[in-house]
Structure 1
Amino acid sequence: MAMYGQKHSFEIKGGDFVYDGEPVRIISGEMHYPRIPHQYWRHRMQMLKAMGLNAVATYVFWNAHEPEPGKWDFTGDKNLAGYIKTAGEEGLMVILRPGPYVCAEWEFGGYPWWLQNIEGMELRRDNEQFLRFTQLYINRLYQEVGNLQVTKGGPIIMVQAENEFGSYVSQRKDIPLEEHRAYNAKIVQQLKNAGFEVPTFTSDGSWLFEGGTTPGALPTANGESNIENLKKVVNEYHGGQGPYMVAEFYPGWLAHWVEPHPQVSATSIARQTEKYLQNDVSINYYMAHGGTNFGFTSGANYDKKHDIQPDLTSYDYNAPVTEAGWVTPKFDSIRNIVKKYVNYTVPEAAAKIPVIEISSIKLTKAADMLEAAREQKPVESDKPVTFEKLNQGYGYVLYSRHFNQPVNGKLEIEGLRDYALVYVNGEKVGELNRYFNNYSMDINIPFNSNLEIFVENMGRINYGSEIVRNTKGIISPVKINGNIIEGEWEMYRIPMDKAPDLEKIKKSNVHNLTTAIPEKLLMGKPAVYSGTFNLTETGDTFIDMESWGKGIVFINGINIGRYWKIGPQQTLYIPGVWLRKGQNEIVIFEQQNDKVHSEVKTVKVPVLNKLNDGQ
């Protein structure tokens, strides 16, 4: 393969992918830049090379780059150009998948949450407002990476238009097929208008090509293991010839909370890899290395049984390279097969990043989050309002209402999105949970009392027709005994976009855990814990949260993601580059807090497949 830094040609011609006039087979691995600390990008690229791959594919996450309208961020772990340049330096071609919809088990499938606030906006269709914003996004993306196309001396060889659109078409039969097709063609055109000149492609299940393919873009078939069928459908939609590519070949699978972590055998993946390579099929392993849904980036699936299926913080995916960048038997199996079919040298795997264990991290302070939330000025309304109307994308909102008269009976919150703890006068009285379709409970509110509903956004739906109904918080009336509770609602915003600072919380609400464990004051309340720990050496590690309830963890100010004792994930990955020699800070926000904690530890091996009973 020619060197990165010089201009080259890449085209689809005569049924082949052609690089500088020579046919080339793509053996790619999917790997997403914001799911990996940028300090580790090169290490993970080297792991892909050691698996025998010659390309890396990545989605582009619109919501990561435009957190607010017109405010762009391409820094740090979001430095897409840096990621692509690193791939080029490591001798990998790059396949760019900018969506604008990506799915990816990522919050809202990559859409910015604030799109839902725009008047007249209809997502993922031939809608003037929507297409105005997608063109702005694609233009801004081109500014960032357009000069990294292979034709301009960079490593980008292809760009995907939309993503699994045929699947969406099959679910949105309320929209005419002609309109779907018009929208899909406009996304291809927007990429070209912006300046992308490398070949475009679409990616769908082979049975969904009618809705998902679009003229001028190569159709690729996700998950298609039958070679004859792959060639048949591509020929039908691509002028009777290839090239033939499986743009998503799944060596593992995605995982949800409350469900076992899927496992895919190394033998089956090695066998299928060989089948593809014997038949000159290009492939992209989805995922080659999954990484982590840090912060509030994990999305959710939807089904009628559960209403929502939130994705884990870990995006290990049972992939050939683990969440922390380790070799697996699956990695070795793929590498051994690929080496038989390529004419380039496959290097050895990069050295494993050091792993450390911290036997005890003492937590020295804690505060009641209900009390801390009440210190701010609330938003007042006659009825509860959504996160979006509060101009808040992620985190938590405390909904509060005072009752002058006693009331008891059935509390119903049909529009709960997604998880709530319910308090009367500061005492926990119940838990509601969209996953379990648990939207009601008995309640007894005495004379002159406060009802408080502490609501968590567990990640917006990222796949399917429900993606267009993705507001969070309380999105419909709160009822008691069938009566709508209106008037004098107060909303306290708790976005958790930064680690809570106990120095800024009222001193009477901050408890010293080194002198006494204030169980009566904190038990059952959502609580913030903090502590410090000193290290003489740094390395990757996994914080063990199995004895906790539900919440998030900040390490040196970085939100490393959600935990939930129910599993199957019981540990959270802490990249060593986020730790430092000397003093480190930890902040844990624990929602359930059924017991008061005074310490936490880390372990050297992650626990990703242990389900615990109970809701």
Structure 2
Amino acid sequence: MRFVICYSLALGAIALAGIAPADAAQGASAGTHSFVQSGHGFLLDGKPYQVISGEMHYVRIPREYWRDRLRKAKAMGLNTITTYAFWNVHEPKPGVYDFSGQHDIAAFIRAAQAEGLNVILRPGPYVCAEWELGGYPAWLLKDRKLVLRSRDPDYTAAVDRWMMRLGKEVKPLMLANGGPIVAVQLENEYGAFGDDKQYLKDLEATYRRAGLADGVLLTSNQPQDLAKGSLPGIPATVNFGSGNAQKAVTALEAFRPDGLRMVGEYWAGWFDKWGEEHHETDGRKEAEELRFLLKRGYSVSLYMVHGGTTFGWMNGADSHTGTDYHPDTTSYDYDAPIDEAGNPRYKYGLIAAAIADATGKQVAPVPAATKARTFAVSPIRRSASLWNNLPEPVRAERPMTFEELGQNYGYVLYRTALTRGPAATLKLAGMHSYAQVYIDQKLIGTLDRRLGQESIKLPARTAPATLDILVENTGRVNYSHAIRTEQTGLTGGATLDGAAATDWRMYRLPMDDVSTMKLTDAPCTAPCFYEAEMTVDTPVDSWIDMRGLHKGQFWMGDHNLGRFWSIGPVHTLYAPAPWMHAGINRLRFFDLQGDGSERLTTVDAPIYGAVTNIRDAQ
């Protein structure tokens, strides 16, 4: 089986073929070159070419650091970078697109090319990636009849529109047009989800209409899912983690004896979830398996070479049964060879040595670490109560979901009136995903989807009262069929002793701009917004120590750094230097459980810890 693409060879691809950058322009204009998949491998200009790739995501890295991370990946011995395209970042509202700043996927791909790296693009639309709803825009869930990852006409119409728009950004960067994109992955581990071959064929046709299939197409699945997630005529790759190399290659070679030998994802680490232990993996074993794969002739992509940070609200969550729920942390360090702040960790050198040994190339020096330091932070003096900063409500007979309210992320406050009466059980069926329950602004308790909590006992009332339920979207599930029912908020209504609670006012709190909060020096009753000042002489990377806070969201200037939660295992937030300025930098945070004891400091390295009892750690 042979797949051929011809293109005017661009600077990055020529550099990878061994042509000096100074000769690149002349070479590009002198003729055409070929990149083909043939038999077990690839050919570049008719010569064997082994893809040695690593995954990093443009949205998880400050734009100012893209080139730094790419250089470090190349210095480790990589010749290719793999990335997803994140639909929900680029189309936050139907028909409204954002390819600016850190979301400029085309600029990231051009940066890779400028650093002499080829690119494998994974357009999805489903990407998994421990990313909110697996990359799907939350507004797709407004219509509960729409079925994600299916041939539902409403779903495919939205996908087609998105792919056409994405094509405008990246088609000029395909190999056929002189760009660095050597291959495009069709869907993403579809075999773990379904086996509708027509769905994959239709998506392939959409890719072709959008100009996303001018080169080599690939599928990517775990060993047990190869048959379900692959298509005849499209090379298959296999995904797996440390300790499973022999089993995985045996499965791929049995599935396609004469086909491509490539690992689409070799998991060189793992991700963290709130309330669970921090993950570290065996770099020596990973280096040994990578050496084994490369010497066997396999092309490989490391997932991740650099994880970065899931800034803002965009973390995903695991759910394997549909009822369990495990939200991911803001840190996406992944124990990758290049750590969250862009520094090579010990396994970087081990993997670089394995690549050099397998390819016969010289090991490059390990790049120097990025500087990090601490900064002075003022005491927290100014605050603002959420109760004093509520917007105009939306009124409805029943509780509406975030999606029905036109809100993707953040919080919604649900409010209704209670009559006097005895103690009663409040049930919030399908509450997604964390709620604090108040009567007359006094906290009664919390409900946490992680712990399967949907009910709480309300005390007796001797007079009419106000019931408030503050619901946080702590991250929609990004894996399994649960993505189809990931509406957020009070998705199943609310009952008191079995009777439906009605007549609701809902306050939308997306917290897109917290600079408008009315802060004062007066004591604050939680939940509260707080402000402190960080004094910076020269911007340098740092870490915000969150151990003095409880649960909420954090901003440095205009940048949403992400979530904090005292249950760990991550107790710091990455504060990148490009997002600081010399002088006073404003730090603001929203703490659901602020009690006046809050304190902020900075540290020069991340802090991790294990949780021994998540029920006691709330």
Is TM-score (shorter-chain normalized) higher than 0.5? Answer: yes
**Distance (Å, rounded) in 1 between the aligned partners of 2:105 and 2:134:** 18
User: Equivalent residues in 2 for 1:404-423 (5 A)?
Assistant: 404-423=419-438
Among 275, 294, 297, the alignment partner of 1:277 is 294
Residues 3-41 of structure 1: CA distance to partner in whole angstroms, max 9, x if unpaired? 377364222123321112211111110000000001000
Identity over aligned pairs, percent: 36
Distance of aligned partners of 1:358 and 1:431 in 2 relative to their CA distance in 1, 3 Å threshold:
same
Residue of structure 1 in register with 2:3 after alignment: none
Q: SS of 1:435's equivalent? A: helix
Once the two structures are superposed, the pairs formed by residues 34-433 of structure 1 within 5 Å of their partners are: 34-118=59-143, 120-169=145-194, 177=195, 180-195=196-211, 196-223=213-240, 230=248, 233-235=251-253, 237-238=255-256, 240-304=257-321, 307-373=324-390, 376-433=391-448
Whole-Å Cα distance in 1 between the matches of residues 70 and 246 of structure 2?
A: 32
- How many Å separate the matches in 2 of 1:89 and 1:290? 21
Question: Where does residue 557 of structure 1 map in the other structure?
Answer: 558
Alignment of 1:21-36 (within 5 A): 21-36=46-61
Equivalence for 2:9 = none
Distance in 2 of aligned mates of 1:531 and 1:427: 26
Please list, as runs of the form range in 1=range in 2, the aligned pairs for 1:487-566 lying within 5 A after superposition.
Answer: 488-502=503-517, 505=518, 510-512=519-521, 518=523, 522-523=524-525, 525-566=526-567
Structure 1 position 614 matched with structure 2 position 612: no
Cα distance 1:576–1:404, how it changes in 2: closer, same or farther (>3 A)? same
Q: Could you say what secondary structure the match of 2:562 adopts?
A: strand
Q: How far has the Cα of 1:356 moved from its partner?
A: 1.8
Give the letter aligned to residue 467 of structure 1. Answer: I
Asked if 1 retains the 8 angstrom alpha-carbon contact of 2:377 and 2:535, the reply is: no
Please tell me whether the aligned partners of residues 187 and 219 of structure 2 are also in contact (alpha carbons under 8 angstroms).
yes
Q: Distance in 1 between matches of 2:197 and 2:168?
A: 27
Partner of 1:172: none
Letter in 2 for 1:390: L
Q: Structure 1, residues 546-574: CA drift from partner, whole Å, max 9, x if none?
A: 12110010001111000000000110111
Count of paired positions: 587
Q: Counterpart of 1:600?
A: 600
Change (3 A) 1:404 1:142: same
Q: 1:340: how far off? A: 1.5
Distance 2:369 2:36 in 1: 37
Offset, 1:535: 1.3
Query: What is the one-letter code of the residue matched to 1:606?
Result: P
Whether the 8 Å contact between 1:540 and 1:576 is mirrored in structure 2 is yes
- Where 1:18 maps in the other structure, the secondary structure is strand
Distance 1:76 1:19 in 2: 33
Q: How big is the shift at 1:149?
A: 1.4
User: What is residue 487 of structure 2 aligned with on the other side?
Assistant: 471
**Secondary structure of 1:10's partner?**
strand
Q: Cα deviation per residue 1:395-425 (whole Å; 9 max; x = unaligned)? A: 0000011123334222211221100111111
* Distance of aligned partners of 1:306 and 1:415 in 2 relative to their CA distance in 1, 3 Å threshold: closer
Look up the match of 2:14: 2
Q: Does the CA-based 8 Å contact 1:43-1:350 persist in structure 2?
A: no
Please state how far the C-alpha of 1:595 moved relative to its aligned partner: 3.6
Q: Is the 8 A contact 2:269 2:280 kept in 1?
A: yes
| CA shift for structure 1 position 316 | 0.4
Partner deviation per Cα, 1:190-221 (whole Å, 9 max, x = no partner): 11122231110010011111210012321101
Q: Give, in whole Å, the separation in 2 of the partners of 1:589 and 1:228.
A: 48
Report how far residue 390 of structure 1 moved. 0.4
Q: Which moved more, 1:228-237 or 1:416-425?
A: 228-237
**CA-CA distance at 1:106 after TM superposition:** 0.1
Work out the CA distance in 1 between the residues paired with 2:131 and 2:386. Answer: 28
Q: Is the 8 A contact 1:303 1:309 kept in 2?
A: no
Q: Say which of 467, 490, 501 aligns to 1:451.
A: 467
Return the offset for 1:363. 2.3
Q: How far does residue 118 in structure 1 lie from its aligned partner after superposition?
A: 4.1
Give the Cα–Cα distance (whole angstroms) in 2 for the partners of residues 8 and 135 of structure 1.
31
1:567 partnered with 2:568? yes
Structure 1 gaps, min length 5 = 170-176
Measure the CA separation in 2 of the matches of 1:399 and 1:226.
48
8 Å contact kept, 2:377–2:533: no
User: Matched residues in 1 for 2:572 and 2:609: separation?
Assistant: 10
User: What amino acid sits opposite 2:617 in the alignment?
Assistant: G
Change (3 A) 1:324 1:399: same
Q: Specify the code of the residue in structure 2 equivalent to 1:464.
A: S
Equivalent pair of 1:227/1:279 in contact (CA under 8 Å): no
TM-fit CA distance, 1:539: 0.7
Q: 1:485 to 1:357 in 2, by over 3 A?
A: same
Once the two structures are superposed, the pairs formed by residues 434-445 of structure 1 within 5 Å of their partners are: 434-444=449-459, 445=461
Structure 2: unaligned runs, 5 residues or longer: 1-12, 16-23
- Alpha-carbon separation, structure 2, partners of 1:75 and 1:257: 30
Residues 500 and 528 of structure 1 are in contact (CA less than 8 Å); yes or no, is this contact kept in structure 2? no
The equivalent of 1:173 in structure 2 is none
Q: Which runs of 4+ in 1 moved over 6 A?
A: none
2-structure distance, mates of 1:556, 1:8:
48
Q: Secondary structure at the match of 2:450?
A: coil
- Whichever residue aligns with residue 176 of structure 2, its letter is T
In structure 2, relative to structure 1, the CA distance for the partners of 1:227 and 1:367 (3 Å cut) is: closer
User: 1:345: how far off?
Assistant: 5.0
Q: Retained in 2: the 8 A contact 1:8–1:151? A: no
Task: Please report how far the alpha carbon of residue 301 of structure 1 lies from its aligned counterpart in structure 2 after TM superposition.
Answer: 0.7
Quote the Cα distance in structure 2 between the aligned partners of 1:257 and 1:580: 31
| Partners of 1:127 and 1:319 in 2: CA distance | 37
Query: Match for 1:38: what amino acid?
Result: R
Letter in 2 for 1:560: L
Decide whether aligned partners of structure 1 residues 446 and 327 sit closer, same or farther in structure 2, where only a CA change above 3 A counts: farther
Deviation for aligned residue 1:86: 0.8
Give the partner amino acid of 1:365: R
TM-score (norm 1): 0.92
Distance of 2:486 and 2:76 partners within structure 1: 38
Structure 1 residues 400 and 498: alpha-carbon distance in aligned structure 2, compared to 1, 3 A threshold:
same
Question: Once structures 1 and 2 are overlaid, which stretch shifts more, 438-447 or 101-110?
Answer: 438-447
Contact 1:555–1:587 (CA under 8 A) maintained in structure 2: yes
What secondary structure, in the 3-state scheme, does the structure 1 residue paired with 2:228 have?
Answer: helix
| Range 453-462 or range 301-310, more displaced | 301-310
Question: C-alpha distance in 2, partners of 1:90/1:250?
Answer: 24
Cα displacement string for residues 118-139 of structure 1 (whole angstroms, at most 9, x for unaligned residues): 4752110112221111111111
